[in-house]
Structure 1
Amino acid sequence: MGVPALFRWLSKKYPKIVSSVIEEREEEIENGDGSKTKVPVDGRKPNPNGEEMDNLYLDMNGIVHPCSHPEDRPPPADEEEMMIAVFEYTDRVVNMVRPRKLLMIAVDGVAPRAKMNQQRSRRFRSAQEAAEKDAAAAEYHLEMLAKGVNTENGGADSDKPKKTWDSNSITPGTPFMDLLAASLRYWVSYKLSTDPAWEKLKVIISDATVPGEGEHKIMNFVRSQRSSATHDPNTRHVIYGLDADLIMLGIATHEPHFRVLREDVFANDTKPGHCRKCNQPGHMADSCRGAPKEQEGIVKPPKPFIWLHVSILREYLAIEMSVPNQPFKFDLERALDDWVFMCFFVGNDFLPHLPSLDIREDGIDTLIAIWRDNIPVMGGYVTKDGHVDLARAQTILEGLAKQEDAIFKRRRETDVKREAGQRRREAEKARREGNKRQRFSNSNDSAPSGYDESVIRRGPRGGVMRGEQAPDINALPTFAPGQAQTRNDPRFGGGLTHADVVGNANQANRSAAAALKEQLMSSKKPADNQKAELESLFAGATNGAQNGNGPQAVLGKRTRDMIDSAAGDNDPSSSAPSTPGRNTPNKEIADPITNGPAGHGTSGALGGNNKDSQGAAPEDTVRLWEDGYQDRYYEQKFHASVDDIELRHRVARSYVEGLCWVLLYYFQGCPSWTWYYPYHYAPFAADFVDMDKQVVSFEKGKPFRPYEQLMGVMPAASNHTLPAVFHPLMTEDESPIKEFYPVDFEVDLNGKKFAWQGVALLPFIDERRLLDAMHTKYPLLSQDEQRRNAFGTEALIFSTQHPLYEEVATNFYSKKAGTPKFKLDSRITEGLAGRVEKEEKFFPHSELAFPLESGNQDAYTGLDQNESATVSYFMPTIPGIHKSMLLPGVHFADPVLDYQDVQATREMARKSGRSHGGVQLSHNGDRSDGRRMNFAARGGGGANAHRGGGGHGYGANGGYGYGQAAQQVFGSLPPQLAQQAATHGFPAMQGMPPLPPGFPPVFPPGNGGQQGGPGSYGGGQGGPQGGYQRDQYRPNGGGYGGGYGAGGGRGGGYQGGRGGGGRRY
């Protein structure tokens, strides 16, 4: 998954990185007899995009998921139809890119333990969603049958809802993945045997039996080839996938000729103010309750594809990450690594993001601004070849910690304004549409057949205005208590109370439903079964209006489309869909998952469907925007006492380990198969202390077996994906691990509105207990089940027309055959390095069997003679570590960014990152008296070129602050002193307890932060457990160095010292 919204954010900030793919499609030509013949795309022709590509890498899970449960068309009838869909989609992508040397197909294998926690959460949610949809569909169909609604042939059996296919089957070790592996091998061999464009292509298949995530297996391959002396540094790479982290992985390869290929999911974006998910007005995507379902029989055209050019992104980042007057040589490759590292803080698949960072709030820009301002002070880059300099990383986090309070308050202000605007829009819409409906229902003349587009309405001065088209009843909003406050606002009906508005809207719902029902029933009489269905549907719509849920809680969009079609067309041959049948149950009902927010701070399972589904967001009891939020956060999220400071440090240390693990994973490969982050939530930036003293190391370990991962991530509802011998471990009360598989589980909304945005509070798997319980069942597995639980290797497949075939045939299948393995000759393989071994199940020119029992036999069949060869493939071992550098001999294309782009990017970089109330923005190179650094974490140069020492410092009126373990040294701060500190600072130690000998120290001129500016408070040393702060005493605070405040310290620099662990007020 990577960073949510990263692709959209990048494409908006750096617009030239994206371009449309020029695609040639299959054509149809008419024959003389009137029939048509399909002419496939000829991949041998030059690439229409103007540049030839060498290698194409497919992250296959990005193909398998949309092919198995598509959003824009009916789902496949069975798993074999899914395989055909995978073939067709993959063929389209290959024809689009036309790789000339290599195609790599990588399917997710067993994941590292760090990823399994996220997989577990997703699969438990997926199973719960499928169960709720199936239950709702069954209830709906029973209700329809009870009311006499039936299909056209009257068969009750055909009305049974079809059980939702379990997408959890797309996990290593399942029968589905076994079928996928066999199908992919067949399809590749079929294409190599029949398609001339594939004759010179080498294909590597890394299926689910090979451990590792698909995209990271691809990165391992790229790194392994770079380590070969014969690698061409100008190889042109394309990687296809839906995960946003492919962009960061592309950067991390340091291969400059790299592109990411993906569907243009925003191709259908419509007018401003419309939701990009459902294209409906009145709300944004973050509050959307699901895209509308399409009418059956209407097939959307395939989505277009786009390129993301990593080479152009490198151009942008080279400008943005370059800091003027940097005291060491700028190294773009190292700066790019730091950029990737900072992206991890706003989201990744292995760690929860820091509470104060959100990409939608320009969290990456905030970190870049901190990085730019501290690069001169840090003296070097934060990362090197996948390793983190923890002292420099803490500098970044200290800069963020100074802004956390203000970020949370700004976020709250933004949320309140957005919600108020949403309520105003909904209330205005209800008032406007309610008035229209009321005029129709009160009129002596009946409404015309089908509402006219030019409904006449009265203007505010009594004139006649041309109105909008009257919407259908399903467009009417519903209201919940506390939603819209309209009293005395002329835009919402003058002095109407909230109750008046709700009453009028509900009355309008009932009147409109009755009017439209009468209109339909008085038109050409439909068939009896359709009439009965319409009766029941309108009854549901009216009931929805009465109970406040509105028709949207009863009718799915496709059913509403059916009513609209019946209302607007009297032609009995209309193609509108009839009674819901076996293929459409889930599309005729409201989605209980996406159509309503969860009610309060937490919910069982996925939150269900709330009665006040349109109400205000659930109460956020942590209230990050209010003082004391840290204590509330740890009390509620970690169930820790306020005094348990050590827990906060443990959480922060685990998070630091996670940052180091993720960076190594991206740049060097998996550092540990067994490490994972053992908490559901992240710490605050202010909780990271003494990072430079932390020693991080990992034990490599071994990956789980496929069945062990299945048992670690699957809910009991998906136990059909596992051999039956393991089922009792998930369901029986006497099972030693039954608590790992809760049927109902808590979802913490964590300040969000919808359950799918929350945190699933599932118990973490105890690895030792899980493996011990499973090992008792292994002897009971069948031979075929044991095969599915074994690890495999990559397969290299190529045509018998490829030069490599002769070498393989000579070594493996001739009378002179030698050892069953050899090292590849890169002169023959066009640069492919590695070694191959004989695959025992393959024999040249043997029959190629079609692996599916049914399917589209016209498109794919078995072959009497397989014209491809298959061998086991092993990547070359990387000596030492993979270096973050460009390889010698690389050639760059002409820059794409012009002068205006460069200047605009420089200006954007200078102003990047918003001041959330911390130190005001100022260019880092300007260090004159009184100027303040942009989000700086440490002291600057000062008038006498001294940084503040140790964090001691004088505040206003000569007061002195000292913060070493203040809770123990000083005890509680008396109220009068707290007030004094907040206003003027401490006047010369008055009222303070005795200090240790030697304090306060006497600083010579120009050192230590004397002469703090007006209104500043000196802050003190700022130990890990407290300090006197400007506005109040906090047990876990820590002050700031002398002179930090309104004027800046003249002698001690801009902040006069570090003041570790504290916050700015």
Structure 2
Amino acid sequence: MNGIIHPCTHPEDKPAPKNEDEMMVAIFECIDRLFGIVRPRKLLYMAIDGVAPRAKMNQQRSRRFRAAKETTEKRLEVARIREELLSRGCKLPPEKEKGDHFDSNCITPGTPFMDRLSKCLHYFVHDRLNNNPAWKGIKVILSDANVPGEGEHKIMDYIRKQRAQPDHDPNTQHVLCGADADLIMLGLATHEPNFTIIREEFLPNKPRPCDICNGFGHEMDKCVGLGATAPTSANFKPDVPIGAEVKFIFVRLSVLREYLKQTLEMPNLPFEYSFERALDDWVFMCFFVGNDFLPHLPSLEIREGAVDRLVELYKKCVYKTKGYLTDSGDVNLDRVQLIMTDLGNAEDQIFKSRQRREEQFKARDKARKRQERNQDHGSLNQSAFGASAVGPNSQQKSVGNYKEEAAALRNRKRTSDMANLDDEDEEENNDEVRLWEDGFKDRYYESKFDVAPGNQQFRYAVALQYVRGLCWVLKYYYQGCASWNWYFPYHYAPFASDFVNIQGLSTMFEKGTKPFNPLEQLMGVFPAASSSHVPEPWAKLMSDPESPIIDFYPEDFKIDLNGRMALLPFVDEKRLFKALVPYYDQLTGEEVKRNKRGDNYLYISNQSPHYKKVKKVSEKDDESVCKAISFDGMRGTLGSTELNTAISGILKSPISGLSDINDNITVTTTFKDPEYDDDYIFEAKRLENAVDPPQVLPNEQSGNKHRPVIGFNSHLTRAYVPDSGHRMLNAGIRNQQGGGGGGGYGQGGGYGQGGGGNQGQGYQNNSRNYNYNYNNNYNQHQGGGYQNNYNNRQQQYGHNQRFNQDNSNQQQRNFNNYNGPRNNNYQQQGGSRQQNQNYRRF
């Protein structure tokens, strides 16, 4: 849900909602759209991030401090630019009231905003179950911010525990919404064959409104006010239409599994190969490259092929040790040691190669800037912003080059003093660590950890904590949270070569730990700038110079430029709780309620066949009495709640402008997942009778090569050659090689056989991602039909016209572009394109 809440409350590509009511409506509309795309048949699970484990809270703390600092800096910059523009007589929209500013940090468990969001979603679910026919037969679970755990991990806990039940359907279809990369790893870790992630389509260069005038096509430092056109806005034409509806894409993990089967294949192993075990090891190795709980190793960068390097080392390790790295969330450190040793041996070369590439890039960049510096500034006056010749060609050129001209203008503005270019580069590139030079370890630990050179014991301690972190993350993904209070106590990772003698390290964690309460968590992750969201008595502890925990809330702090991470002191939870003790009795009743851990809520309407079972539980007076249930592929425990609205009762709308719900037909209960013993192990395996969806990648028998879509836009059309281009090609080939049966590169000057395009030199046309070779791929039959075996498909095109020399040119062109006569027949059979009843395309 947080992936929906954030863009709906503070969008980056359009003006923000005016108030909280508009935010709530935007969230409702987004859920409706996703519901319409996915069309769930059994369950909708809406999980909001609750209090996270300490390992995650450190990252949240860093993000919120950085966001508060950037917001303050941006506000000052906006005020400065507004003052400058007003002094020049520019027209500007009214300045926003201070109270109108939306602090995105309020999207954190325990705040009044999240409490209101929970109430609004409670109303929304009732409204849809009461009034929308598409919702009538499904169950809805709402896990709000008072339920501990990250949203995606609450959903994973549900799937994991339902999957362990004996009557679980192994072919259940799962669709998880979110843009975080860890969702892919979580989905793979379930070993479910039908797991799909739906996320917003990533589009680079999305237009964003100016923070000064709300216009598009320029940054705020280029703003010239209302009614005027900024230089960079003159020919502005966004790649994505302004205000365009967000598109969603499906990431089908079954296809990724097919790729990984090919990548992780290890023939001639001295033991039986298991792809599912190798898949778990691949997920584990990806943690080295970066995750939400640990910094990535200095020698591993995704863009440098770090995952491929780890896979190569992994295969050698498996052959050598005759076993896998992981087993259902447990790590074999003996085998991990081998990979770390091999990676450590290559670290020196990795750093030198990285530096060489960076120097080459900087040299090219410096040459480009120097060329711009030496360019004649008069060329700017000849651009689209100045005078230009009148005529069709000049207009086409102006429109076609607007991006380059705008980019050139931006570069000239940003580098106004190009004479100091070389000096500035030297200052920026002052890297005191210099990983590519001898002695980099001593410099790294001295710079990043403030530790004296040669302190081997400290390096070993950091490496051991990192290994424990890897074990904690793997358990988190496969078994649930192993410890709520463990965290990696450093900002930076060790080197791979520092992983020495890790074999005997204990991978056990303290049992019985509990998460923070919501308000306590706010004190652990919020900066003083967001103190308005915490209880007033507690807020003083964040700003009072005499506060015993004032050091937790620095106003000025360093930011790591590589990881964009705020380098903050770690919160000592014992000191924090001790400082809060005198203020607990000053909390209001509403604040006390917000500070309690909550329950999941199950909603079901009287249109469901299971309505009567749930209704009986909802009517119980004693909320402590729970009832175990099992229906429709779901097991758990239900209990009554004060949130339940009586049947035929009225539920008041919490949002102005939205009507109350009259004559209610929906019941609400609490819901708890099935319980398991603390030492229970959820096996990471593929369930029996699980059926894979139709294969997408071609197999060896098909003899075809898969051609993945490359680039950001999957809808880009192939290059198109107009008729004039074909005529030019035809004439050129005729002049060089002769006609041969009608001339050109086809019969009668067409696109078929003969001429310069004889059978040995068939004309190839890449159209619509297909590679057609008309002389090799197609067999012509008397009936005028064509048969083509491509990716296990049979395509038959029956033409209602004879294919002869007179019409071959036009007919073949229609065939290439799928624009043939309307009564042409198209048949699609079997193979990788076969659609089953559960597959839908949007």
TM range (shorter): 0.7 to 0.9
SS at match of 1:873: strand
Q: Residues 798 and 812 of structure 1: is their aligned pair in 2 closer, same or farther, counting only changes over 3 Å?
A: closer
Structure 1 position 852, deviation (Å): 3.3
Counterpart among 166, 171, 178 of residue 234 in structure 1: 171
Confirm whether residue 867 of structure 1 aligns to residue 665 of structure 2. yes
CA contact (8 A) 1:454 1:468 kept: no
1:730 corresponds to which residue?
Answer: 542
> Counterparts of 1:450-849 in structure 2 under 5 Å?
475-476=407-408, 617-700=428-511, 701-749=513-561, 752=562, 757-813=563-619, 820-826=625-631, 830-849=632-651
Structure 1 position 891, deviation (Å): 1.9
Structure 1 position 375, deviation (Å): 0.7
CA contact (8 A) 1:319 1:905 kept: no
Confirm whether residue 400 of structure 1 aligns to residue 319 of structure 2. no
CA contact (8 A) 1:664 1:671 kept: yes
How many matched pairs?
Answer: 680
1:975 corresponds to which residue?
Answer: none
Give per-residue Cα distances to partners, 1:89-123, cap 9 Å, x unaligned.
Answer: 01100100001000000000000000011001100
Q: Residues 135 and 849 of structure 1: is their aligned pair in 2 closer, same or farther, counting only changes over 3 Å?
A: farther
CA contact (8 A) 2:620 2:640 kept: no
User: Partners of 2:331 and 2:596 in 1: how far apart?
Assistant: 35
User: Partners of 2:423 and 2:517 in 1: how far apart?
Assistant: 45
SS at match of 2:671: strand
Confirm whether residue 421 of structure 1 aligns to residue 358 of structure 2. no
SS at match of 2:634: coil
Give per-residue Cα distances to partners, 1:515-548, cap 9 Å, x unaligned.
Answer: xxxxxxxxxxxxxxxxxxxxxxxxxxxxx88667
1:894 corresponds to which residue?
Answer: 694
User: Partners of 2:638 and 2:552 in 1: how far apart?
Assistant: 42
Q: Which amino acid aligns with 1:885?
A: K
1:954 corresponds to which residue?
Answer: none
Give per-residue Cα distances to partners, 1:691-748, cap 9 Å, x unaligned.
Answer: 1121222113110011111111110000011010111110011100001100010123
2:74 corresponds to which residue?
Answer: 133
SS at match of 2:199: strand
Confirm whether residue 356 of structure 1 aligns to residue 168 of structure 2. no
Q: Which amino acid aligns with 1:832?
A: M
CA contact (8 A) 2:290 2:296 kept: yes
User: Partners of 2:556 and 2:199 in 1: how far apart?
Assistant: 36
Structure 1 position 759, deviation (Å): 3.5
Q: Which amino acid aligns with 1:79?
A: E
2:15 corresponds to which residue?
Answer: 74
Structure 1 position 824, deviation (Å): 1.0
1:172 corresponds to which residue?
Answer: 109
Structure 1 position 640, deviation (Å): 1.0
Q: Which amino acid aligns with 1:254?
A: H
Confirm whether residue 385 of structure 1 aligns to residue 328 of structure 2. yes
Structure 1 position 145, deviation (Å): 3.5
SS at match of 1:745: coil
Counterpart among 370, 374, 383 of residue 313 in structure 2: 370
Q: Which amino acid aligns with 1:845?
A: I
SS at match of 1:103: strand
SS at match of 1:307: strand
CA contact (8 A) 1:134 1:163 kept: no
SS at match of 1:734: coil
SS at match of 2:298: coil
User: Partners of 2:116 and 2:623 in 1: how far apart?
Assistant: 33
Structure 1 position 437, deviation (Å): 3.5
SS at match of 1:105: strand
Q: Which amino acid aligns with 2:55?
A: A
Structure 1 position 618, deviation (Å): 3.7
CA contact (8 A) 2:123 2:654 kept: no
Structure 1 position 451, deviation (Å): 9.6
2:387 corresponds to which residue?
Answer: 448
Gaps of 5+ in 2: 208-215, 219-231, 709-842
2:266 corresponds to which residue?
Answer: 323
SS at match of 1:99: coil
Gaps of 5+ in 1: 1-59, 271-277, 281-290, 457-464, 480-504, 510-543, 551-609, 909-1065
User: Partners of 2:702 and 2:300 in 1: how far apart?
Assistant: 27
User: Partners of 1:833 and 1:634 in 2: how far apart?
Assistant: 51
Confirm whether residue 339 of structure 1 aligns to residue 282 of structure 2. yes
User: Partners of 2:133 and 2:458 in 1: how far apart?
Assistant: 63
Q: Residues 241 and 613 of structure 1: is their aligned pair in 2 closer, same or farther, counting only changes over 3 Å?
A: farther
Give per-residue Cα distances to partners, 1:207-262, cap 9 Å, x unaligned.
Answer: 00000000000000001101111110110111011111100000101111111111
1:582 corresponds to which residue?
Answer: none
> Counterparts of 1:882-1031 in structure 2 under 5 Å?
882-899=682-699
Structure 1 position 643, deviation (Å): 2.6
User: Partners of 2:390 and 2:526 in 1: how far apart?
Assistant: 51
User: Partners of 2:6 and 2:196 in 1: how far apart?
Assistant: 22
User: Partners of 1:470 and 1:723 in 2: how far apart?
Assistant: 52
User: Partners of 1:450 and 1:128 in 2: how far apart?
Assistant: 49
Let me know the Cα RMSD of the aligned residues. Answer: 3.5
Q: Which amino acid aligns with 1:448?
A: A
User: Partners of 2:425 and 2:445 in 1: how far apart?
Assistant: 30
User: Partners of 1:467 and 1:96 in 2: how far apart?
Assistant: 37
SS at match of 2:42: strand
User: Partners of 1:158 and 1:878 in 2: how far apart?
Assistant: 56
Q: Residues 347 and 471 of structure 1: is their aligned pair in 2 closer, same or farther, counting only changes over 3 Å?
A: closer
Q: Residues 429 and 842 of structure 1: is their aligned pair in 2 closer, same or farther, counting only changes over 3 Å?
A: same
SS at match of 2:585: helix
Give per-residue Cα distances to partners, 1:114-135, cap 9 Å, x unaligned.
Answer: 0011001100000011111111
User: Partners of 1:451 and 1:736 in 2: how far apart?
Assistant: 73
- Normalized against structure 2, the TM-score is what? 0.75
Structure 1 position 377, deviation (Å): 0.8
User: Partners of 1:254 and 1:375 in 2: how far apart?
Assistant: 21
CA contact (8 A) 2:463 2:499 kept: yes
1:249 corresponds to which residue?
Answer: 186
Select the structure that is richer in helix.
Answer: 2
Q: Which amino acid aligns with 1:825?
A: S
- Normalized against structure 1, the TM-score is what? 0.60
User: Partners of 2:623 and 2:669 in 1: how far apart?
Assistant: 15
Bigger mean CA offset, 162-171 vs 305-314: 162-171
Structure 1 position 266, deviation (Å): 3.6
User: Partners of 1:424 and 1:211 in 2: how far apart?
Assistant: 53
Q: Residues 547 and 851 of structure 1: is their aligned pair in 2 closer, same or farther, counting only changes over 3 Å?
A: farther
CA contact (8 A) 1:430 1:477 kept: no
> Counterparts of 1:16-95 in structure 2 under 5 Å?
60-95=1-36
Q: Residues 812 and 305 of structure 1: is their aligned pair in 2 closer, same or farther, counting only changes over 3 Å?
A: closer
User: Partners of 1:611 and 1:455 in 2: how far apart?
Assistant: 37
Bigger mean CA offset, 68-77 vs 677-686: 68-77
User: Partners of 1:549 and 1:637 in 2: how far apart?
Assistant: 34
Q: Residues 877 and 452 of structure 1: is their aligned pair in 2 closer, same or farther, counting only changes over 3 Å?
A: farther
CA contact (8 A) 1:706 1:790 kept: yes
CA contact (8 A) 2:645 2:651 kept: no
Confirm whether residue 122 of structure 1 aligns to residue 63 of structure 2. yes
> Counterparts of 1:249-288 in structure 2 under 5 Å?
249-266=186-203
